[in-house]
Amino acid sequence: MTHLICWKRALVVGTALAGLASPVWAQTAQEDAGASEQPQAADIIVTANRRDQSDLSVAAAVTALSSELLEQAIIRDTQDLTQLAPGLVITTATSEATAATIRLRGIGTSGTNLGLEGSVGVFVDNIYRARSGIALGDLFDVAQVEVLRGPQGTLFGKNTTAGALLVQTRAPTYDWNGEVQAAYANRDSLRLMGALGGVIVEDKVAFRVSGVVTRRDGFLEDRGTGREVNDRDRFALRGQLRLDPSDRVSIRLIADYSRKQEQCCAAIVTQNGARAPAIAALGGFVPTAFDEYVVASNRRYQADTREWGLSSQIDVRFDKAQWTTLLSWRDFTSARNTDSDFTSADLLNTPFEDTSDRFFTAETTLKGTAGPVDWLVGGFLFDQQTDQSSAILFGRDLNRFLQLSFPAAAARLAGLYPEGGGDTRRDFAQSASGWSVFTHNIVTLLPDVKATIGLRYLTEDKEGSGRFAFNSPACGRVGVPVGAQLLCPTPDFDSRFEDEQVIGTAGLSWEPTSGALLYANFSRGYKAGGLNLDRTGGLAGAAGATFLPEEIDSYEVGAKARLLGGKARVALTLFTSDITNFQQNAFTGTAFTISNAAEVRSRGVEFETTLRPVPWLSFANSVIYNEATYGEATANAALRGRQIVNAPKWTWQSQFMIERPVGKGGWTTQWAANMRMISDVNTSVALQPEAEEDGYFLLGGRIGLRSPDDSFDVSLFAQNLTNTFYRTIIFAGVLQPGTFNAYVGEPRHYGVEARVRF
């Protein structure tokens, strides 16, 4: 009943603020030359079809987030985008780098297995980021973010089944410009961002350099080590060159570098199991409250990453065509160690986990018009090398803990768990390569009717191995209970996965009047299969070492329109998607298991509107209803018909902005707020009842003062203003049946920010 009342209040507030909408209004601020102008909810130029188009003319579900909206909503990194982007859910588990999941319309692949690819592709300046975790980082000097919902196969690099995030950074121009931004917030949070760009050779060569530094204390108190964990310590730098050797040729070169040195990621306890007294007997901390930012561990959490990349985009323009070539090289490394049992007793530890990923891509497209056909053809290839070395070792308290847990076998367990033994070495390696050719064409059938036809042929080849070393004396020992036989030997394996597919899209759109669009689309999507890069990969022979690709059939019907003389915009989308061979990766409490033994159907409706009744006031809202459920072909009968992991049925988001003059000197005040509410979710792949999380409401806001020439502004800001406590992933406790742990969202964050533009 409490949640129902909360929902009713939220919907009343949302209706009063906006009447249901999409966050595209922020790009209109620059059009406000004066209050006498007719207010407009401006067109947004998007690249969802690899063409510059008004979002109202794109026959697909796409949301554009402008740089101003990102600033007003205090969007500082990729994970913050969930506050604005309809249907977007981002979660991280043991590591942001290797255990992040991005979901759209409920679809995403959970877990830490490096063999899995993301269901949502992330493209920064048109360059594909190979893993969801690699894509999570600071957003700085960004021009626009586009969120594309539904399969993306015929236009964007690697194929994805759920959607894509397109991040465009500010490109160099021939005007000197720059900015410096500084923010200080609670938990000693400091963020410094700067950018500078200008001309090197008039009309021929321009540059832009930008960077950001972020520091913040942790928000989790570690009762075991006395530290504060889940902190921020990040640095990123980007340099660009723009070359225009002729009127027909443009070249953009980008080099970027980023690093993180953080203590992440700790998990609280949400429920104590029967073995909690054994933890207490060993001197470990056992919580009695489960809604606090308190954890307990016996070792430091380390999460260090380094990434750098080089990319180029070459555009050659002909009279009726344009040829674009994209080349990129990205190099990613991470070093992690963690307390594997999430207690202050010394049971299991991961003293090291070293991961590297090197990724090369090349893409070329040729597009143009020929009569009624707006055509595009292209090719894409990639080459990737992934390596990981890690260990999970017995701690000094493990032997005593298991004796307390299995008292009848205590004498037989003595000495079977040597400190430093266990899974002493696990090495994974994978080489992957592939290529594809594709076409995407928009055909004008009648002046107001267009058809879209796209196809892609692709082939992929992955080859990899797992090598293991063990020191586990209890395994196979007579009289040792099965539950006490830990980290038992796994056979080495070598495996290969090869595949080829033809996927595509077809659609029809009708523009009944200027500023209105009706459309219907079908897409066949694909997400690659691959190798099971986990210790379970060698347990079932060749069959256990690989998994199948996901395939999706998606149908979408939508309508978009500009109303009330341009003061309002609406977008309505109905969708249904059927996924076969859905890739599951579930944690059992001792290991991750991966399978394709499931089918999923995601179906629902997305309703977005924007309202700008007067030049100084803007509203935006979106409401999504989504049933993302397991189908009848799912092997586990207990899952059939149930909503899948971290897929809320209801999502409501709202933003508003007010900008008013102060006195007669030209200064203005800005008032902005963003709200998000989701309904109940289950945060466990296995849909355990203990992993249910109630729906919650998040509120952020900003109050600012801006100078007449827009060269200076200062503001107060807050995220999670109501200090809502919420859990993003709840999972079975390690070695503790009945115990559950959880990763939690960040508590209230507030501070002051100043910016100077020049």
Q: What is the 3 state secondary structure string of 35-54?
A: CCCCCCCCCCEECCCCCCEE
Poorest-pLDDT segment among 106-115, 259-268, 700-709: 106-115
Neighbouring residues of 476: CB distance < 8 A, sequence distance ≥ 6:
485, 488
**pLDDT at position 591:** 65
- Residues whose CB falls within 8 Å of the CB of residue 313, separated by 6 or more in sequence, listed in order: 125, 126, 251, 252, 324, 325, 326
Q: Which residues pair with 522 in a beta bridge?
A: 506, 555
Q: What is the mean pLDDT of the chain?
A: 90
- Has residue 209 got a pLDDT over 50? yes
- pLDDT-above-90 percentage for the chain: 77
Give how far Cα 457 sits from Cα of 92, 159, 171, 454, 646, Å.
Answer: 33, 11, 32, 11, 32
Report the DSSP pairing between strands 45-46 and 749-757.
Answer: unpaired
pLDDT at site 5: 39
Task: Encode pLDDT of 609-628 as tens digits.
Answer: 999 999 999 999 999 999 99
Across 677-687, average pLDDT: 94
Give the chain's length: 758
> What pLDDT, on a 0 to 100 scale, did the predictor assign at position 702?
96
The token pair that represents 272 in the structure block: 């104590």
Whether the per-residue pLDDT at 665 is higher than 90: the answer is no
Q: Which residue has the tokens 């018009």?
A: 369
Q: Please check the confidence at residue 188 and state whether its pLDDT lies above 60.
A: yes
Residue 373 C-alpha from the chain's centroid: 35
The pLDDT assigned to 137 comes to 82
pLDDT of residue 38: 44
Residue 3 pLDDT greater than 70, yes or no: no
Gap between the Cα atoms of 137 and 334, Å rounded: 14
The tokens describing 346, both together, are 């010394």
Query: pLDDT tens digit string along 93-113?
Result: 888 777 788 999 999 887 678
The answer to whether 74 touches 719, Cβ cutoff 8 Å, is: yes
For the stretch 268-316, pLDDT in tens is: 999 999 999 999 999 999 999 999 999 999 998 999 999 999 999 999 9
Residue 694's pLDDT band (boundaries 50, 70, 90)? Answer: very high
Give the pLDDT mean for 582-595: 75
- Do residues 605 and 627 make contact, with C-beta atoms less than 8 angstroms apart? no
C-alpha span between 381 and 283 (Å, rounded): 55
Dump pLDDT digits (tens) for 495-528. 999 999 999 999 999 999 999 999 999 999 989 9
Q: Which of 340, 352, 353 is nearest to 397 (CA)?
A: 340
Hey, what are 427's tokens? 């090495």
Please give the pLDDT value at position 42: 56
Cβ atoms 375, 322 nearer than 8 A = no
pLDDT in the model for residue 29: 34
Give residue 662's identity as a one-letter amino acid code.
V
What's the sign of the alpha-carbon dihedral 744, 750, 752, 754?
positive
Q: Which of 97-111, 435-449, 452-466, 673-687 has the lowest mean pLDDT?
A: 97-111
- What span, in angstroms and rounded, lies between the C-alpha atoms of 669 and 508? 45
pLDDT given at position 136? 78
pLDDT at 226: 92
What tokens does 703 get? Answer: 């109050």
Burial class (CB in 10 A: 0-12, 13-18, 19+), 72: buried
Eight-class DSSP state of 140: -
User: Residue range 204-215: average pLDDT?
Assistant: 98
The pLDDT tens digits of the residues spanning 19-56 come to: 333 333 333 333 333 333 444 455 688 888 888 888 88
Is the confidence at residue 73, as pLDDT, over 80?
A: yes
Determine what percent of the chain is predicted with pLDDT higher than 70: 93
Tokens of 397: 């308290």
Q: Would you state the pLDDT for residue 16?
A: 35
**The pLDDT value given to residue 536:** 82
In angstroms, the CA 567 to CA 42 distance is 9
